[in-house]
Structures are given as C-alpha cells and as structure tokens.
Amino acid sequence: MSILTIGRVAAAAGVNVETIRYYQRRGLLKEPAKPLGGYRNYPTEMVKRIRFIKRAQALGFTLEDVGGLLQLNNTDPCAKTRDLAAQKMASIEQKLFQLQTIRNALAKLVHQCDKRLKSSPCPIIQILELDADSGWAANGSKKRQNPKQQTVLAASPGIASLRLPQKRKISG
C-alpha cells in the first residue's frame, strides 16, 4: 500500500486539494492523523473513492446521495442503489419536461417577435413586465381555478397563450 500527500491524491484524482478538504468536512473522506511536524499520509484507495464521488456526481447524485451510496457499499447495495438511481431518473425526467415546456414557451414568444410590427411593443418584454398589480402572479402566470392549467396570457391580443412548466408528480 502506497502513501500519498494530499496534493498527490488531488492530482491523481483530478481534483483540487480544497475539494478533498471539503469532502472530508462532509464526511465523505476520512482525514488521516497528522504526524508531529509532518504531512498527512493518504492511502492510494483515497484516489479511487474520490473518483467514485466524482462519477456519482456526474450522474446527478448529490453529495448527500453519495454519502448514502458509500454507506451501502458493504450491505446489500444493489436494491437500495437501484432505488436511488430510479429516483434520480424520475427527477431528471421532471426537469427535462420542465425545460421542454420552457423551450416551447420561448419558441412561441420568439415567433411572436418575428411576426410583430416594428411599431408594436416586444411581446417578450410585455410578458416580463406583467406584475401582480395587473392580476398576474409573480411568475408571469395568470391565476386560474385549475392550477394545472396555468397560462401566460399577453396584455395585447396578438400574443399567443403560453403554457408554463408544471411540476409533475412521478410515481415510483
């Protein structure tokens, strides 16, 4: 077993020394004891653990999730890890749905800008300027009886109705 300094561990794992210290404060990495007048000695396994953390983050897991994954390492991990991954997928699907809805709304506004006359106000600016004084919610949506059907209605008749993203409950 080879022993490394924190700088060498950081370089081998492709992270900054401060990242290692942060992971130590979060309880994801153990901080080795510091010998009198010397440097802390880190085992080479630390590099593997840091890479595990970074790969999990790249898949969308939070550091809290990673802490849970690291604890599952020795106790029937597959079923619990699968459940965490399925929850992460559901969260990503919800975000994708919301982003697609926002994209569609922006596309409609851009189309309205393309169609507008030079002397007419900009439809995007009109939507952004709407406020509670005119009966609009802070997010630009008109409050309606059915909250699932929030729609942005423009002040001028030429602007198309736009759907705002709604949080969907995904069972699982």
**Residue ranges making up the domain that contains 9:** 3-62
Q: How many residues does the chain have?
A: 172
Per cent of the chain over pLDDT 90 is 41
Domain match, 21 and 94 both: no
Same-domain check for residues 133 and 97: yes
DSSP 3-state of 137: coil
Question: Using alpha carbons only, what angle is made at residue 10 by residues 7 and 16, rounded to the nearest 5 degrees?
Answer: 100
In a domain, 92, yes or no: yes
Domain count, the chain: 2
The dihedral sign for the CA sequence 118, 123, 125, 129: positive
d(C-alpha 148, C-alpha 146), whole Å: 5
Q: Could you tell me if 18 and 58 lie in one domain?
A: yes
The verdict on 44 and 108 lying in the same domain is no
Q: Which residue has the higher pLDDT, 129 or 19?
A: 19
Token pair in block for residue 46: 């630390």
How far apart CA 47 and CA 28 sit, in angstroms, is: 12
pLDDT digits (tens, 9 = 90+) for 130-139: 764 554 444 4
Q: How far apart are CA 124 and CA 94, in angstroms?
A: 25
Residue 25: pLDDT band (50, 70, 90) is very high
| CA atoms lying within 13 Å on the CB side of residue 21 | 7
Assigned domain for 172 exists: no
CATH number where 18 lies: 1.10.1660.10
- C-alpha dist (Å) from residue 125 to 4, 120, 161: 57, 11, 15
Residues 37 and 85 placed together within one structural domain of the fold: no
Is 168's pLDDT higher than 60? Answer: no
